[in-house]
Structure 1
Amino acid sequence: MIKEEYNPKVRSNKSVILTSDLVVCGGGLSGVCAAVEAARQGLKVILVQDRPVLGGNASSEVRLWALGATSHMGNNNRWAREGGLIDEILVENTYRNKEGNPVLFDMVLMDFVKNEDNITLLMNTAIYHTVKADEKNIAAVEAFCSQTSTNYLINGTYFCDATGDGIVGFQAGAAFRIGQEAKAEFNEKMAPEEANTELLGHSIFFYSKDVGKPVKYVAPDLALKDITDIPKYQSIKSSDQGCSFWWLEYGGKLDTIHDTENVKEELWKVVYGVWDYIKNSGEFPEAETMTLEWVGAIPGKRESRRFEGHYMLTQNDVIDQVDFEDAVSFGGWAVDHHDVEGVYTKNDSCTQWHTKGVYQIPYRCFISKNIDNLFLAGRIISASHIAFGTTRVMTTCAHGGQVVGTAAALCLKHGLKPEDLKSGHLLSELKNALSARGQGIPKVAYEGPNLLKEAKVTHSSSMSLAKIPANGTWKYLGKSSAQLLPLRKGEAYSFTFDIKANATTKLEAELRLSDKLGNFTPNVILERQVQAVEIGEQKVCFQFKETIPEDQYVFVVLKQNGLVAYKSSELLMTGLVSVFNGENKKVSNNGRQTPPSDIGIDSFDFYTPLRRPDGQNIGMEISPALEGFSADQLTNGLVRPDVRTNAWIADPLDEQPCLTINWEQKKKVNNLTIFFDTDYDHAMESVQMGHHESIIPFVVEAYEILDDRGHIIFEKSDNYQTINRINLHAPIETKQLKIRFKKNQYATPVAVFEIIIN
């Protein structure tokens, strides 16, 4: 037993002193990615999280779906899902948890952290004090764990503030901002004329379920009594739950840090009042057997402090898609701002203005301009309030977290300050390190060491796409439909479709492309043709005369005509996708974006894909056949489609696809990294949405690697991940490697984006 006599003095809690290379403060997705990446690169990491679970707004405590540049597949950003570690996490979650259970996502994140021996994880531990070594450097943070009554003094060489509210940066004295900049400061047309302190508010969600028998609901006293206080109450549906109630928002006029508990109580008032309306108003008879299953206990925060880095991203950088020398990350969510009145507004709850493509985020946004050993991650990175409207979303934040983890490893390796990586050969080393991990930075290719570049690579076959087989169902042209194809510069193409018409009519086709190379917004019509169509089934050929000005993806568009159907295709192939001029209300996509003329936003049509099992490719014959799927794509340093597919794709009839890598002299091989296709066009929302399959159809599930003696040095039979890192048990010396692939269960052509051998 433990027995202690009366002590007239104040007793002290248990105290623990810890020391690490990197202290990551905050366990949301950005903090998790920073910690895991740094740990994988050899740093000793302490991850401090003030909540009982990881994930922040993505956790089961808040239950917001994690999204980024893909924007629910509702914008024109093709193959834009963030790469690297956050991709690995989302692919893992889809494999384990395709239904989107938020509790299971908690455990996916926990496994990623706990599987790293170099991470010390402190949960339920709140940082309350920052200790400075001098004016420009942090020495330690002090924290308290409420569950173990333990005080921590956590020393570190580098610190990452991923806390959302920026508690460490604030206490360390780093420059920050709260509110909206005036229009004149950065020449941002969306900004107000005068600076103000208005912000995006917090939200609390709820889940409901039907239990099959009548359930009584007595509203708590705090519940909102008059539902008409919520101007949007007539849009409420009893079937809505979770993120569908994102607009239950409040606090934009308050102090979103210090008033959070008051904001939470107001949101509880709203939530329980909304449920009272659903249950007891008589407007929803189907709700008689429904019960309130879960209500968030903490609000999901959108905005508070933003810190000043060595560069501040602005609206113009985002909309103009500015290229930065120090580009290390990217975004693509809309510039998404909410009305300051939140749930009580009589205006639109939010405005989402989309860009024509993804935009780069420079490294300078991730480092404090005042504190020499402080990295910034998550929603607090250096961006104006307008740019923050797009950088704040979670997978964009997580993508930046990997930047911090990688940069911290390089800083420790070379004994540098974070700002030393801003330019020169150290910046190149950082970008190559990120690219080697699949970061997928737009216009940035991996240029680091790779023995594959010294080899002669041959393939058993490669795709020559003369036909997308018309073996699917008939699809009527209720909306304009298009096939995205990687066409070659200088070529003129013809396309032949299987068509069925219910009446004599005319079918119009267009070749469309983007005015900016690498974008997927079809705002330029290269050529338009019209063909007469008879009643019944027939083949219709469009012979276009215009040649393609550059290697790029081109939209082959069949214009809307409800009398006409085309034959779809069951073929699934890397780099092919059909898109439709439809709507996606979740992201303010009404088929065309038409903003006011004075806010600096572009007008354009949306052509977006459908989720599997819908959205089949359009059956067609293509002349000349599409080439460019050979093994020489494997060393261009790119790991997703941009202006071309950037993949070796085997012939669909090849029963034993194989790559053979030959060197003139023996090479010492330590490891290989193979980049497969897990469909970067699929949004992979972490919770609530659910997904059609747990293993993406394009990915190679099984393969084996043989040396020059025919010995199998590695084999894999259960792959579902994008990136396979193969560290051999011992280095081998060989003049040849042969990689034999097995066709997967979906019978899609085998495809590989990139192989790095060291």
Structure 2
Amino acid sequence: MKRRDFLTKGTQGAIAAAALIPLGVSATPTESPLQVDDLGDRKKDNWLEVASGKKIKPQRKITKEFDVAVLGGGAAGICAAVAAARNGAKTVLVQDRSVLGGNASSEIRVHLNGVNHLKGGLPERETGIIEELLLLNRFDNAQASFPVFDHVMYDFVVREPNLELMLNTQAVEAKMSGNKIKSARCWQSNTETEITIKAPIFIDCSGDGLLAATAGAEYRTGREAASEFGEKYAPKVADGWQMGASILMSSKDMGKPMPYTAPSYAIRYKAEIAHKKRYIKGFDEGIWWVEVGSEHDIIAEQEINRHKLMGYLHGVWDYIKNSGNHPEAANYALDWVGNLPGRRESRRFIGDYIMSETDMTGHKHFEDAIAFGGWSLDEHNPGGIENPSEPPSYFHAHFDEIYEVPFRSLYSKNIDNLMFAGRNVSQTHIALSSSRIMATCALMGQAVGTAATICVKKNVSPRDISNKFINELQEQLLRDDAFIPMRPANDPLDLAKKASLIFASSTISGDAKLMNDGWSRDINDKIHHWESEGLNAELQMEWDNPIDLSTVEIKCDTNVKRNIMMRKDQRHDKIYTNTVPEEMLKAVDLEARVNGSWIKLGTLDNNKRRLIKFKFDSVKTTAIRLKLKETYGKKSVKLFEVRCYA
């Protein structure tokens, strides 16, 4: 069956084209805000309280106020909330599950991929908040356990002093004041509590975007026609098809024959008619193509599809175990089976710019770039496993260099105080096939979280950031160790820019003078680092006139050409590592010259971050000196940037 034929033929036979229901392609949502009863009403409740011995009426309705409200606790939402909190905004992160991480959580267990799909296999790995989280996981979860990763992410969020986490909570309705969201009505299921969240800025990172939809934010679903954006891989006629959801499993070699009996709901896998690219290998790690799409409303059919997916998964495993075609599976047994499908696509909200396939393949430069991507155009078969004659994904095009993501795609065109990050941003269906990858979504999250703090401080809208304050946003992102293609840092407050002399005790590659050149990684074979010859190295920065100094920030090497995400197979080669990067700086001392004498301002013996920050009481100095004592294994140390602030 040809790819486009599947638009008019279902897996059970031919269906009329009219039966396909486009879900609002190029459309504004038509549903009105939810009208529901008072969820927190407990007038008929009588609760015997142990402390007082009296029967009380439980209080199950509260209101909380924040500067920034982030909805959705996947990679994008985590990075958005942490960025907002660290930059000074009182922030809440609302997550509808009991764990953080979204598709990367133990409930779904998708690899937290990013730009690790470039031609030639080398990544151009993400830095910033998402790298900090993945590095923490390498320290605290060396065993690569997904349930432990849940707790690593939990720790990463709750340790932020300016950030409140609400789990098991879903934002179900936006209360509006004109074109602004005034508050979000939320339901916390495990406490039976209705929570009203008020904030001047809302960020919807929930994927499906229920809050944004109830606010009336414009969105699209389905595939655009090729002619609308000049997209090579889009269909000729727009339609409602979206990429489906997958369910994963894992299996374990038990060292002895393990029988398997399929459950009653299993759906037989017809391998004899399956496309040759439906590979059955590495089944101990799960099979990603057990996927189901939807001809109608992919959100409304989630529970139907969940049941079908579980049936299809057991059908595939039954084939592996009992067909006789995979004797290598004789000793394998199911070790874990997912109950929650990982969704790829639903609503895509419209911003001031709609990112398209041609922006990516043409490597369009955006003056408002705030993130980057590079995963292939990985458009999954819209029918999933129910269209077995087609490949599970088309992998239309691979990138040999990264592309830019514009800020104008991350805020709502018609709701003044609403931003997005993740798969629900302003983009076409084909563009989504690349940018939906979690680490790319995380970069968007850090960008909107940072932008939200500027909005709050200046009392402006996200559109104002794009029109008036984009330089401020970009500079803050670069300072916080995000990378923006074609955009060097030039922070006027960075005193390192005014240093009269930068030198080092030894050099094996690069130059110490590059520590303030505005680039925090080597790019396109151009060196922007200094590397010592051996350890116990020193780097010194001098000023002609004394400066007031209270902060020094260092960006060390974590080898962005090697991926650090957690993999089920614990892969360790030139592309992936399953350990802490050996290049990363572990121990360093900071000294300053004050009145002609060197004094110690700080010491770090167990560093776990690429971005190292020393903060101290202000001193008047004419020089600083870094004593670089130890890495996590490499016999030299490499730095990319040193910044200094009053």
Counterparts of 1:115-194 in structure 2, within 5 Å, are 115-134=159-178, 136-194=179-237
Counterpart code for 2:382: V
More divergent stretch after superposition (230-239 vs 683-692):
230-239
- C-alpha distance in structure 2 between counterparts of 1:172 and 1:223, whole Å: 40
Question: How far off its partner does 1:702 sit?
Answer: 1.5
Secondary structure of 1:193's aligned partner: coil
- C-alpha distance in structure 1 between counterparts of 2:48 and 2:604, whole Å: 58
- C-alpha distance in structure 2 between counterparts of 1:733 and 1:64, whole Å: 50
Is 1:23 matched up with 2:69? yes
Unaligned runs of 5+ in 1: 5-10, 465-628
Equivalent residue for 2:54?
none
Counterpart code for 2:83: E
Select the residue among 144, 162, 165 that pairs with 1:100: 144
For residues 381 and 451 of structure 1, do their structure 2 counterparts lie closer, same or farther at Cα, with a shift above 3 Å needed? Answer: same
Equivalent residue for 2:22?
none
Select the residue among 490, 508, 523 that pairs with 1:642: 523
Counterparts of 1:672-687 in structure 2, within 5 Å, are 672-687=552-567
Counterparts of 1:740-755 in structure 2, within 5 Å, are 740-744=627-631, 746-755=633-642
Equivalent residue for 2:536?
656
- C-alpha distance in structure 2 between counterparts of 1:252 and 1:640, whole Å: 43
- C-alpha distance in structure 2 between counterparts of 1:745 and 1:408, whole Å: 36
Counterpart code for 1:634: M
Question: How far off its partner does 1:747 sit?
Answer: 3.7
Equivalent residue for 1:725?
613
- C-alpha distance in structure 2 between counterparts of 1:376 and 1:235, whole Å: 34
Select the residue among 460, 475, 500 that pairs with 2:505: 460
Counterparts of 1:514-593 in structure 2, within 5 Å, are none
Counterpart code for 2:115: A
Give the count of matched residue pairs: 581
Equivalent residue for 1:701?
586
For residues 233 and 274 of structure 1, do their structure 2 counterparts lie closer, same or farther at Cα, with a shift above 3 Å needed? Answer: farther
Select the residue among 401, 411, 414 that pairs with 2:458: 414
Secondary structure of 2:109's aligned partner: coil
Higher normalized strand content (fraction of residues): 1
Counterpart code for 2:506: S
Counterpart code for 1:354: H
Is contact 1:656-1:742 (8 Å) kept? yes
- C-alpha distance in structure 1 between counterparts of 2:230 and 2:529, whole Å: 44
Structure 1 residues 24-71: Cα deviation after superposition (integer angstroms, max 9, x where no partner): 111111011100110111111111110110010011000000111122
Secondary structure of 2:309's aligned partner: helix
- C-alpha distance in structure 2 between counterparts of 1:249 and 1:122, whole Å: 30
Counterpart code for 1:87: E
Is contact 2:202-2:419 (8 Å) kept? yes
Select the residue among 255, 260, 264 that pairs with 2:297: 255
More divergent stretch after superposition (196-205 vs 705-714):
705-714
Is contact 2:252-2:284 (8 Å) kept? no
Select the residue among 424, 429, 447 that pairs with 2:472: 429
Counterparts of 1:347-366 in structure 2, within 5 Å, are 347-352=390-395, 353-366=397-410
- C-alpha distance in structure 2 between counterparts of 1:745 and 1:228, whole Å: 47
Equivalent residue for 2:600?
712
Structure 1 residues 278-321: Cα deviation after superposition (integer angstroms, max 9, x where no partner): 22233334434332121111100000110100101111110110
- C-alpha distance in structure 1 between counterparts of 2:253 and 2:231, whole Å: 48
Structure 1 residues 120-140: Cα deviation after superposition (integer angstroms, max 9, x where no partner): 111111222111122x10011
- C-alpha distance in structure 1 between counterparts of 2:439 and 2:356, whole Å: 19
Counterpart code for 2:579: S
- C-alpha distance in structure 2 between counterparts of 1:280 and 1:357, whole Å: 44
Question: How far off its partner does 1:680 sit?
Answer: 0.7
Select the residue among 108, 111, 114 that pairs with 1:65: 111
- C-alpha distance in structure 2 between counterparts of 1:677 and 1:657, whole Å: 15
Question: How far off its partner does 1:686 sit?
Answer: 2.8
Please give the TM-score of this superposition, normalised by the length of structure 1: 0.74
Counterparts of 1:285-296 in structure 2, within 5 Å, are 285-296=327-338
For residues 631 and 238 of structure 1, do their structure 2 counterparts lie closer, same or farther at Cα, with a shift above 3 Å needed? Answer: closer
For residues 30 and 226 of structure 1, do their structure 2 counterparts lie closer, same or farther at Cα, with a shift above 3 Å needed? Answer: closer
Secondary structure of 2:628's aligned partner: strand
Question: How far off its partner does 1:235 sit?
Answer: 5.5
- C-alpha distance in structure 2 between counterparts of 1:16 and 1:380, whole Å: 29
Is contact 1:63-1:687 (8 Å) kept? no
Secondary structure of 2:523's aligned partner: coil
- C-alpha distance in structure 2 between counterparts of 1:14 and 1:722, whole Å: 43
Question: How far off its partner does 1:755 sit?
Answer: 0.8
- C-alpha distance in structure 1 between counterparts of 2:47 and 2:486, whole Å: 64
Is contact 2:275-2:390 (8 Å) kept? no
Question: How far off its partner does 1:95 sit?
Answer: 2.6
Select the residue among 352, 373, 379 that pairs with 2:423: 379
Is 1:665 matched up with 2:545? yes
Is contact 1:215-1:291 (8 Å) kept? yes
More divergent stretch after superposition (264-273 vs 716-725):
716-725
Q: Which has the larger radius of gyration?
A: 1
For residues 675 and 38 of structure 1, do their structure 2 counterparts lie closer, same or farther at Cα, with a shift above 3 Å needed? Answer: same
Percent identical? 34
Question: How far off its partner does 1:459 sit?
Answer: 1.3
**CA RMSD of the aligned region, Å?**
2.0
Equivalent residue for 1:620?
none
Is contact 2:381-2:391 (8 Å) kept? yes
- C-alpha distance in structure 1 between counterparts of 2:524 and 2:207, whole Å: 36
Is contact 2:531-2:639 (8 Å) kept? no
Counterpart code for 2:521: R
Equivalent residue for 2:244?
201
Counterpart code for 1:702: A
Counterpart code for 1:679: N
Structure 1 residues 356-408: Cα deviation after superposition (integer angstroms, max 9, x where no partner): 31111111011001000001111001111111111111000011000011000
- C-alpha distance in structure 1 between counterparts of 2:58 and 2:346, whole Å: 34
Secondary structure of 1:147's aligned partner: helix
- C-alpha distance in structure 2 between counterparts of 1:275 and 1:76, whole Å: 33
Secondary structure of 1:105's aligned partner: helix
Select the residue among 427, 444, 450 that pairs with 2:494: 450
- C-alpha distance in structure 2 between counterparts of 1:59 and 1:747, whole Å: 32
Question: How far off its partner does 1:18 sit?
Answer: 0.8
Question: How far off its partner does 1:437 sit?
Answer: 0.6
Secondary structure of 1:707's aligned partner: strand
Counterpart code for 2:515: L
Equivalent residue for 1:599?
none
Is contact 1:164-1:378 (8 Å) kept? yes
Unaligned runs of 5+ in 2: 1-45, 50-56
- C-alpha distance in structure 2 between counterparts of 1:669 and 1:659, whole Å: 17
Is 1:274 matched up with 2:316? yes
Equivalent residue for 2:131?
87
